[in-house]
Chains A and B, each alone.
Chain A
Amino acid sequence: MDFTEVPVTSERKSKKKKSKKAGNKRMSEAENGESAGVEKKKSEEKMENGESSAAFPPTFSVSEIKNKQRRHMMFMKLKQEKRKQKLQLRKKKKKERAALGDKAPPKEVPKTIENQRVFDETTVDLEDEEIAFDEGTDEFSAYFNRLTNPQVLITTSDRPRGKTVRFCEQLASVIPNAHVYYRRGLALKKIIPQCVARNFTYLMVINEDRLVPNGLVLCHLPDGPTAHFKVSSVRLRKEIKRRGKDPTEHSPEVILNNFSTRLGHTIARLFAALFPQDPNFVGRQVATFHNQRDFIFFRFHRYIFKNEKKVGIQELGPRFTLKLRSLQKGTFDSKYGEYEWVLKRHEMDACRRKFQL
């Protein structure tokens, strides 16, 4: 079955469809007696392989090889070549740097999406009086002026299943003064006045979909804003590797990272008001809300300072990711409430370098 390969497709830039057709032609020409559909798996062009390793036609690309194994091998070789070249380049540059010593040009900073972030005019300037006044007298002022202690009510959507129930229990162990109640199909608008009467400050509703928690409604109680988040990537304690023992009753410290815009500040205050104002440093527990690219990552750790510069941390507790979908002024009223911010995907997600939080 040796036949000389007529370079039919190698001249033009072939997309996959074209090369399939060309492959078909070759099959019928060669009269192999094999079915046309199986061409990809059969090794019809041994010659081609030999040829290609010897001399590449100028417009050859790896994707033209029909044989999957050979194509894979060629691709791997290509990648290794590239990697070798990159390493060589790097070594050369390093040598040059070492040779120049002090006169070397400064290291270039790689471009990341966070670096390239579009300047947001709503970024909070901490010295701004108007914003300071606005924040000082907003709905969270009672908490930040130490007039109330947080009391959190955690519930779910109706009829929760295993993972969500365990998630709620673990959340309740992480947030002090939190109580889990079964939903019983009650309407949120009716639960809220009852919670207010019993001095709760937060209502947390975890929505479940297909056995997994996927949404969180966080409502600050007397008349405060309601935030609706999308929850993803929930890992319960069992699923966390190398974790420490269960968290204790001590109030954790709270770390809020990277909330820079006005909306970010409001959300950060929302999270901060979940935990009591005075953390028990004896407990050495810390809850972190880290905002990156509009995703908020929640982690719960126990730390220990080995000496002044080294810390060891153990992850306890659940971990999950949140993304803000809407912030509504007033308590939960999704139909008639006024929204302070709504995620409009097609308008806001159009630019990859623009973030809202």
Chain B
Amino acid sequence: QVSVLYFARSAELAGLRCETLSVPREITSLQLWEEIVKVHPRLAVIRDQVIFAVRQEYVLLGDQLLVLQPGDEVAIIPPISGG
């Protein structure tokens, strides 16, 4: 079970800022995205623009294998615009 955080446009599309999701302990970042889109199909439109932050480290959507612990924070990161 991981905490998924939504920001900016992804929070608008998902309709919430944070929730707990059950996902396999070992999963590629792309598979994790697909799990999240099953729950929030409207997120599909931003697939090409987002990356993840897993335990506050950026992870591109792709084949990278993630090893998740219960309670880990996974954030959906749309293109940033700070400064």
Q: A and B: partners?
A: no
